[in-house]
Amino acid sequence: MMGAEFVPLSLPPMLIGTFAAIACALPGNFLLLRRQALIGDAISHVVLPGIVAAFLLTGMVSTWPMMLGAMAAAVLAVLLIETIRRLGKIEPGAAMGVIFTSMFAGGVLLLEMTDTSAVHLDVQHALYGNLESLIWLDATGWSSLLDPDALRYLPAELPRMAITLVVVALFIAAIWRPLKISTFDEGFARTLGIPTGLIGMALVTVAAVAAVAAFDAVGSIIVIAMFICPPAAARMMTNRLERQIGWSVVFATISAVLGYVLAGYGPLWLGAQDAVSAAGMIATVSGLILGITALAGPCRTRSGAPEGA
C-alpha cells in the first residue's frame, strides 16, 4: 500500500479503532469474570441524558462539553449500579437493567421537554461512529509522522483515544494483584484488607471512561462488542488470566485492523461499489473470532458443564 494514500486516509482510523478496541477489551476481561460485561451496553444508553444535559447547560453542540456530560452520566450510572447491587444484594445484570433503562428514559424525556430543534441527535453516528471520517489530510506519506506541522492536524480522536488506552492500561497494571484476588475470591480479599468495594467501583469507572471515549470516536457498536468478544474469545485460548489479557489484546487488534480493511475493500473484492461501515465490520470480525475460538479454542470446556457436553 502506498504511504501517500495509506497514512492520511487509513492509518488514523485504524489506529483509533485499535486503541478503542484494546481500551475496552482490557477492563472487559475483568467485567466478564465478574458477570458485569453488559456494562458496556448500559453505558451506551446512559450517556444520552448526560449529552442532553451538557447541551442544555452549555448550549453548544461541541465535543468536549458533550463528552464530559456523557462521562459524568456514565460514571454516575456505574456508581449507582454498584450501589444498588451491594445494597440490594442482587445480581449485577438486574442492577444494570434498572439503572440504564431509567436513565435512558430520563434522557428521552429531557430531550422532549426541551427545545430540541437546535439539537441534531444523529442516531447513525451514535451507533456506528464515524471511523472513516477520521482522516488526516495534512499527511503526505510516512514522513508526515515526523513532521510537527502535519502532526498538529491529526484527528483529535487519535491522541484522546491513545491517552485513554494508556490510562486504562496503567490502572489495570497498578492494581493488578488486588484486582485479580478480589475478582476471584472477594471474601478472602477482604480478609487481607483489600478494599474490594473501592476496587469494584474503580474498575467500572475506568470502564466507563474507556467506553465514553471510544463511544465518541468509533460508536457504541464497537464499545459493546469489545467489552465482551475479545475477552470471551481469549478465555477459550488459555486458563491463565495473564495470558487471557494478552490474547484479548491480540483479538481486539485483529478485529480492528481486519474489520477496517474488510469494510473498506471487502465489498470491492466481491464486485460491489461501496464500502460498508467499518464499525459494523469490526464488531462482526470480533464476533467471528469468538465463534471460532468457541468451536476450536483449546480451553473452551467449562468444568461446570456436564461430562461429554
> Interface residues with another protein (CB under 8 A)?
33, 89, 174-175, 177-178, 180-181, 183-185, 187-188, 190-194, 235, 238-241, 243-244, 299, 302-304
Shortest distance (Å) from residue 171 CB to another protein = 13
Shortest distance (Å) from residue 196 CB to another protein = 9
Q: Is 122 left (phi over 0), alpha (psi -120 to 50) or beta?
A: beta
CB contact set of 269 (below 8 Å; sequence gap of 6+): none
Please identify, using beta-carbon distances, which residue of 38 and 161 lies nearer to another protein. 38
Please identify, using beta-carbon distances, which residue of 39 and 67 lies nearer to another protein. 39
Between the alpha carbon of residue 52 and those of residues 57, 58, 82, 103, 243, the distances in Å are 9, 10, 24, 12, 41
* 5's grid cell: 494514500
Please give the full DSSP string across 51-76, using - where no structure is assigned: HHHHHHHH----HHHHHHHHHHHHHH
Please identify, using beta-carbon distances, which residue of 102 and 238 lies nearer to another protein. 238
Please identify, using beta-carbon distances, which residue of 106 and 178 lies nearer to another protein. 178
Please identify, using beta-carbon distances, which residue of 44 and 183 lies nearer to another protein. 183
Shortest distance (Å) from residue 184 CB to another protein = 5
Beta-carbon count within 10 A of 308 CB:
5
Q: Which residue has the cell 469489545?
A: 226
Shortest distance (Å) from residue 161 CB to another protein = 27
Please identify, using beta-carbon distances, which residue of 43 and 234 lies nearer to another protein. 234
Q: Is 114 left (phi over 0), alpha (psi -120 to 50) or beta?
A: beta
Shortest distance (Å) from residue 172 CB to another protein = 13
Shortest distance (Å) from residue 192 CB to another protein = 5
CB contact set of 190 (below 8 Å; sequence gap of 6+): 182, 196
